[in-house]
């Protein structure tokens, strides 16, 4: 039951249940009130059979002398098996209506009387008392049972719909995180099977399309490295055989080839993160040596890089190779735009690890703090192609964060004044 009423679906269930159950209850109550009005006691008192009975008794009593009417009333009561009384006008309350129609009265004990005003008798005829009809407990419980059945039927009708919605929601979120596994929801739904089948087919086509594009990118990147290596080799050979005026151009050519090779490396890393054969080998890793290895592998630079490790935090749950790749991209990004300082912090807050890289550069505009994690995104400020970036480094970081079931966010650094990039992932 708790799984069915998960937090994501609770609001939808409550709203749907309230609308359906409330509407049916209001309709049932209005119908019940309408039936009660149609079956009111005034309608029953005007029953033509009751009126005919009073008229017959009135005609017989009016034909007898006034002194004999009481005895005649007793005889009629014995013959009809009814209690009949003849009342004088003085015995009738002034609040009693004087029309010649039967009136239903009730005494303090709940007994029922019927009164007929008779001008011919200068009084009235009274029938009764009659014991009221006692409803059984079952009859009194029927309305409650009826309303409860409405609530139960609506709940049972909504339950499979909400369960199917939850299956589709969870599967869609999983597919959004990892497109390599197409949806398989049709077999797990009962009411929304047609919708689930369409979503499964769509996810399979999307997965195949993206995977084909990734495989093509990886294949082209591999194939491009061979001619690039030949160009680099040829440039190195020619550099020793030409004069100084051409050596500068060969060195520039070699730098361009190196830039292309770096781009290919980034594209291969990005494509590799989406490969179906990628397997996460997460484990408890000692933070200090892992952090030293990642910082030492950074290219030469003149910036000051400081590392801070939270007190008492000795290990972290991660895939060390991928997380080192993420840190190297975060660090390269920070060194590219920092003026003098870069700070790396590793901490844990409850069940969440946090790897933070800050710099003292110009920072990232708030409107661009989400776009920078998309592939080949470069900003129109100092963070552009001229600084050596291709727009893939932070996309790689975002993908690694997703593989760790985490996220990466960009903020302003309060300590250094530049950019603050934080990679967060759960502890297990």
Q: Mind listing the pLDDT tens digit for each residue in 82-91? A: 788 888 776 6
Residue 67 structure tokens:
């002194």
Which domains are present in the chain? 7-39+136-167 (no CATH), 41-130 (no CATH), 179-278 (1.10.287.130), 283-426 (3.30.565.10)
Comparing CA positions, the residue from 120, 80, 86 lying closest to residue 100 is 120
Q: Residue 134's pLDDT is what?
A: 66
Q: Please give the share of the chain, as a percent, with pLDDT higher than 90.
A: 8
25-55 as b/e: b if 16+ CB within 10 A = eeeeeeeeeeeeeeeeeeeebeeeebbebbe
**Mean pLDDT for the stretch of residues 398-403:** 87
Q: Residue 1's pLDDT is what?
A: 47
Q: Residue 78's pLDDT is what?
A: 83
Q: Residue 359's pLDDT is what?
A: 93
Q: Residue 354's pLDDT is what?
A: 92
Report whether pLDDT(424) > 90: yes
Distances (CA, A) of 372 to 10, 338, 360, 377, 397: 35, 17, 18, 6, 11
Q: Residue 233's pLDDT is what?
A: 72
Comparing CA positions, the residue from 203, 167, 173 lying closest to residue 185 is 167
Q: Residue 345's pLDDT is what?
A: 92
Secondary structure of 117-170 as H, E, C letters: EEHHHCEEEEEEEECCCCCCHHHHHHHHHHHHHHHHHHHHHHHHHHHHHHHHHH
Predicted confidence (pLDDT) per residue in 271-304, tens digit: 677 665 667 788 898 999 988 888 888 777 888 8
Report whether pLDDT(46) > 60: no
Distance CA 198, CA 204 (A): 10
Report whether pLDDT(93) > 70: no
pLDDT band at 390 (very low <50, low <70, confident <90, very high): low
Tell me the backbone φ, ψ of residue 84, rounded to 5 degrees.
-120, 130
Q: Residue 357's pLDDT is what?
A: 93
pLDDT band at 391 (very low <50, low <70, confident <90, very high): confident
Distances (CA, A) of 425 to 151, 189, 311, 343, 345: 43, 32, 19, 19, 14
Cβ atoms of 342 and 305 within 8 Å: the answer is yes
Average pLDDT over the chain, rounded to whole? Answer: 77
Q: Residue 87's pLDDT is what?
A: 81
**Mean pLDDT for the stretch of residues 322-342:** 89
Report whether pLDDT(207) > 70: yes
409/2: higher pLDDT: 409
Q: Residue 138's pLDDT is what?
A: 61
Q: Residue 227's pLDDT is what?
A: 78
User: Comparing 201-205, 318-322, 374-378, which segment has the lowest mean pLDDT?
Assistant: 374-378
Report whether pLDDT(200) > 80: yes
* Edge-to-edge strand list for the sheet holding 123-130: 84-88, 123-130, 112-118, 103-106
Q: Please give the share of the chain, as a percent, with pLDDT higher than 70.
A: 78
pLDDT band at 381 (very low <50, low <70, confident <90, very high): very low
Predicted confidence (pLDDT) per residue in 182-198, tens digit: 888 888 888 778 888 88
**Mean pLDDT for the stretch of residues 115-122:** 81
pLDDT band at 423 (very low <50, low <70, confident <90, very high): very high
Q: Residue 353's pLDDT is what?
A: 92
Q: Report the phi/psi class of residue 377: left, alpha or beta, with left for phi > 0 and alpha for psi in -120 to 50.
A: beta
Place of tokens 């006008």: 89
Predicted confidence (pLDDT) per residue in 132-167, tens digit: 766 666 666 767 777 777 777 777 777 787 788 888
Distance CA 187, CA 192 (A): 10
**Mean pLDDT for the stretch of residues 369-378:** 79
Report the DSSP beta bridge partners of residue 358. Answer: 343, 420
367/92: higher pLDDT: 367
pLDDT band at 98 (very low <50, low <70, confident <90, very high): low
Residue 83 structure tokens:
């209690």
Cβ atoms of 131 and 111 within 8 Å: the answer is yes
């Amino acid at each position: 039951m708790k799984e069915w009423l998960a937090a994501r679906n609770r609001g939808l269930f409550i709203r749907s249940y309230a609308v359906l159950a409330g509407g049916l209850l209001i309709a049932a109550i209005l119908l019940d009130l309408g039936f009660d009005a149609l079956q009111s006691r005034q309608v029953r008192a005007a029953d033509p059979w009751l009126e005919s009975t009073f008229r017959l008794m009135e005609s017989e009593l009016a034909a007898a002398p006034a002194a004999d009417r009481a005895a005649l009333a007793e005889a009629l009561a014995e013959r009809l098996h009814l209690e009949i009384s003849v009342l004088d006008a003085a015995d009738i309350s002034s609040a009693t209506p004087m029309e010649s129609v039967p009136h239903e009265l009730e005494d303090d004990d709940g007994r029922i009387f019927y009164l007929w005003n008779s001008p011919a008798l200068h009084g009235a005829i009274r029938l009764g008392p009659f014991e009221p009809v006692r409803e059984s407990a079952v009859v009194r419980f029927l309305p409650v049972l009826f309303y409860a059945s409405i609530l139960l039927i609506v709940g049972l009708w909504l339950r499979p719909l909400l369960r199917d919605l939850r299956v589709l929601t969870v599967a869609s979120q999983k597919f959004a995180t990892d497109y390599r596994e197409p949806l398989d929801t049709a077999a797990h739904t009962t009411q929304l099977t047609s919708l689930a089948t369409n979503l499964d087919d769509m996810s399979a086509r999307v997965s195949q399309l993206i995977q084909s594009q990734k495989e093509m990118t990886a294949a082209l990147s591999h194939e491009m490295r061979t001619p690039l290596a030949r160009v680099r080799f040829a440039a190195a050979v020619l550099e020793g055989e030409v004069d100084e005026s051409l050596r500068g151009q060969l060195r520039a050519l070699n730098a361009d080839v190196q830039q292309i090779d770096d781009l290919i490396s980034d594209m291969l890393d990005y494509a590799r993160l989406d490969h179906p054969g990628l397997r996460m080998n997460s484990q408890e890793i000692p933070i200090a040596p892992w952090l030293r290895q990642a910082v030492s592998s950074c290219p030469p630079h003149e910036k000051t890089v400081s590392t801070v490790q939270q007190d008492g935090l000795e290990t972290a749950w991660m895939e060390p190779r991928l997380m080192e790749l993420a840190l190297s991209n975060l660090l390269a990004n920070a060194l590219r735009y920092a003026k003098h300082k870069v700070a790396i912090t590793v901490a844990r807050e409850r069940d969440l690890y946090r790897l933070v890289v800050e710099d003292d550069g110009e920072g990232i505009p708030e409107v661009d703090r989400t776009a920078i994690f998309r592939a080949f995104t470069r900003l129109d400020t100092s963070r552009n192609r001229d600084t050596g970036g291709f727009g893939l480094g932070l996309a790689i970081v975002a993908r690694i964060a997703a593989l760790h079931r985490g996220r990466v966010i960009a903020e302003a650094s309060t300590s250094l004044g530049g950019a603050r990039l934080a990679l967060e992932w759960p502890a297990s």
